[in-house]
Amino acid sequence: MDSASPPEVSDAKPSFRKPANDAANWKYRCHSSADMSDSSSSDETEASNGARIMADAEEVVSMEEICEDEGGVEEEEQLDDWGDWGMDEDDSEPSYLCLFCDLSFASSHTLFDHCRAEHHFDFHGIRRALDLDFYGSIKLINYIRAQVADNKCWICGALLACKKDLQNHLHAALTLGKDVKLAWDSDIYLKPFMYEDALLHSLPPDEDGEEDYTATADKEDLMRELMCAKDLTDICIGDETGRSEEQAVDECINNNNHFEMTVVNGMAAVEDFGTSCTKQKDKQLRIAFDNVAAREIKSINEDYFGSYDSFGIHREMISDKARTQTYRDAICNNPSLMKGATVMDVGCGTGILSLFAAQAGASRVIGVDASKKMAAVAKDNGLLLEGRLNGDACCSSGVINVVQGMIEELDAFIQVPPNSIDVLVSEWMGYCLLYESMLSSVIYARDQWLRPGGAILPDIATIFAAGFGRDATSIPFWENVYGFDMSCIGREVLGDAAKFPIVDIVDSRDIVTEAVPLKSFDLATMRQDEMDFTSSFELELKTDIPKDSVNATPGVAWCYGIVLWFDTAFSGRFCKETPCVLSTSPYCTETHWSQTIFTFREAIALATSPSPSGDDSAAVGTEKCPAIRIRSRMSITRAAVYRNIDISLEITAVSLDGRKRTWPPQIFDL
């Protein structure tokens, strides 16, 4: 199970005007340039302001008329209420103030670029994810300005001591979803928080309550999809400009970076394709983009399930004794659960769990997997049930019915009555528990077919966290390579490790803090949105820390990062005779899941004694002032890339005298 390649990091920086009194900001993370085209926003803003002012006038005066009659006395009298309209152009340009710091920008586009790169605030991404309309966007902007004025984090509500601490604390909005209660969903935030906030006048409008639409499409796929339409010329431009069809599609795509085209309630389509575009044509475009996006997901699924067509990966999983033996014990050693039960195996693979269920006395087993291999295995063992579940005659006395396909598409292959499954079993776990997003398929099957009070195996899953020491990194290896010191390479590798999660085995002797539970899931009751979560926890040094984890300076040990693992329990709630636990802990037998490692940008010194002699002038977490605990906050959410997950990590070192030191958040993609 290979993790997806990490996104490339762009060095592009938006241009901005910096006030003289502004302090330098710490740069957390740089993304690629803006989602939307770089059309001049200053012109749009001037037109917007002009329209607002002229609406109050008795007579509408065009820009051309103002320029032509600028020197006339009669026209000057008409324009008395226009204030500074005739001032120098540089003075009249609107200034867009950052939502989080004191920087000002010449356009809203560069402002939002800055917010995304420096403050982890992706306005356009959040607006799309939450389907915010024009008024919802205004509420969001005013809410953030109000929170920042009080030194509060707009996402988690944390209260910080000062604006600088708030900027260091800001993190990505990983837990937002359409079903989340929005803190700014109140009409009080329609009132501008900041006087003459130019940003509120530059937000793109919505129309008729239609949803914003964004899709990332491959150029060739989009071209093929549009060619399937009745009339490509009508859809794109009405052929009024003389452009070829391919040129039209090129222009349509290239108007936004990375082949990304945004149609905001039909407005962008009008601007890009000409005034002859109608809503029907916009709808055709949306269908085209939807089809391309669906094909992308289908392609990812095909690659994912195709990787399991290889017997090598199945051998690795079956050979994982801790994994396979625990499932066998839970299924075969709980006769009151399995005898005569109807069992569904989600993601059955070679069918080893289905075979265990049949062996344990299940009356019927439905194995569902997109792989083609399992039916032959069941047939060779005399357990294959030929025929269908709708009453058709069967050709053998076997109990296993094999369905090749995704669980979400099961109804297209067989009819399984609702509430007819007694036991739902699945080995759905991925790296860091949630990688691969198979848990959502298990929850779907539970909600569709598991009877009330039915069993789900396993039924409890818990993620744990602990701090690891120096020997869990690559530093010791590079310090002595056949007698040569290559520490410079080790330091560079360690720096790279702070950008990407690493799946590897961690020796229990390299764990330097006590383990703490990060998140626990009850599979019998949890909802899919619980897969996205944020957890706060504290790490303290172990009492029995190995001597080789202690620094040369007495009383100091070093923590280089956080390692995650998980346990899945077959609890006594369903497995009454033989409860079991499958653990991927460093303290237990190694499994093919290993552990997932998140490396700090800077190692943190921890005090090994309760009363270390610390230097009050030194930074907390250093050798001269070791910390006594590490306060951590971690968010895990399903990523925009299908089947991936995103992780954000915040850490604060706390000294014995209560002083704190906070590092900028780290963002990882798995």
Instruction: Please write down the HEC assignment for all residues of 158-208.
Output: CECCCHHHHHHHCCCCCCCCCCCCCCCCCHHHHCCCCCCCHHHHCCCCCCC
Spatial separation of the C-alpha atoms in residues 617 and 655, rounded to whole Å: 12
The answer to whether 64 is a known catalytic residue is no
The answer to whether 427 is a known catalytic residue is yes
**Which are the contacts of 176, defined by CB distance < 8 A and separation ≥ 6?**
126, 129, 130, 155
Closest CA to 371 of 410, 402, 342: 402
Report which DSSP code applies to 665.
P
Distances (CA, A) of 663 to 167, 495, 537: 11, 15, 16
Closest CA to 455 of 523, 360, 556: 523
Q: Which of 427, 492, 514, 602 is catalytic?
A: 427
Full DSSP string of 15-65: --B--TTPPPPP------S-SS----HHHHHHHHHHHHHHHTSSS---HHH
At residue 306, φ and ψ (nearest 5 deg) are -65, -30
Spatial separation of the C-alpha atoms in residues 142 and 153, rounded to whole Å: 14
Maximum Cα interatomic distance, the chain, rounded to a whole number of Å:
102
Q: Which of 436, 540, 590, 623 is catalytic?
A: 436
How many whole angstroms from its chain centre is CA 272? Answer: 31
Closest CA to 286 of 208, 229, 209, 204: 229
At residue 425, φ and ψ (nearest 5 deg) are -125, 145
In the block, residue with structure tokens 């309209």: 85
**Which are the contacts of 334, defined by CB distance < 8 A and separation ≥ 6?**
360, 574, 575, 576, 577, 578
Name the residues annotated as catalytic: 427, 436
